[in-house]
């Protein structure tokens, strides 16, 4: 990552404008703009002031990024079969439980169902890839078929069921991870 891009990203993460960063580091807004657009290079002293104004240290700022992958191969996914539920879950992003959300693909056999999820502080999103599922959300039920989706706050007991004679497949994302 380029120096200016890294300064911009940190500034935005802190919710600062270029003017606010300039004030905190005793520089001009124009200088910050030029730095972020790779049109100038700061001296070491100037960089130390910018890094301090961003709430970091020089060693942390220049530490090599431990970037996470952006694209994941099907070979990296793993699956679990829950025969008693008539369910197979595919975790399509490895180690997603350490992230903010956890996407899975669920395959429900006829009569299959997910586990029952107790309320938690988070959200649930599902997109039905094929078939029809029933979403049981508290005391309410919704039929969701191919191409349709659901999205709700996970503040009630919920689960999905396949009441049809055909398999159903859905992309299901919980945040925070709860599978």
| 94 and 161 together in one domain | yes
**CATH number for 17:** 1.10.260.40
In the chain, the number of structural domains is 2
User: 36 with 115, same domain?
Assistant: no
Range of the domain at 156: 74-175
pLDDT in tens, 120-142: 999 999 999 999 999 999 999 99
Q: Give the number of other CB atoms < 10 A from CB of residue 62.
A: 12
Same domain, residue pair 101 and 167: yes
16-68 confidence digits (pLDDT tens): 899 999 998 999 999 999 999 989 989 999 999 999 888 888 888 888 766 77
Concatenating the DSSP letter of every residue in 95-137 gives TGGGSS-EEEEEEE-TT-BPPPBPP-SSEEEEEEEESEEEEEE
pTM of the model: 0.65
């Amino acid at each position: 990552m380029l120096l200016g891009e890294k300064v911009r990203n940190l500034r935005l993460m802190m919710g600062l404008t270029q003017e606010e960063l300039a004030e905190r580091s005793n520089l001009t807004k124009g200088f910050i703009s030029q730095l972020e657009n790779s049109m100038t290079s700061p001296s070491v002293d100037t960089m130390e002031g910018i890094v301090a104004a961003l709430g970091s240290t020089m060693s942390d700022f220049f530490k090599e990024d431990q970037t996470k992958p952006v694209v994941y191969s099907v070979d990296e996914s793993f699956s679990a079969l829950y025969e008693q539920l008539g369910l197979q879950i595919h975790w399509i992003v490895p180690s997603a439980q350490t992230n903010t959300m956890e996407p899975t693909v669920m395959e429900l056999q006829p009569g299959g169902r997910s586990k029952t999820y107790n309320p938690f502080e988070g959200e649930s999103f599902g997109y039905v890839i094929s078939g029809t599922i029933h979403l049981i959300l508290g005391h309410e039920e919704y039929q969701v078929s191919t191409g349709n989706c659901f999205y709700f706050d996970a503040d009630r007991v919920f689960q999905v069921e396949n009441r049809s004679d055909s398999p159903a497949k859905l992309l299901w994302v919980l945040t925070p991870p709860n599978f």
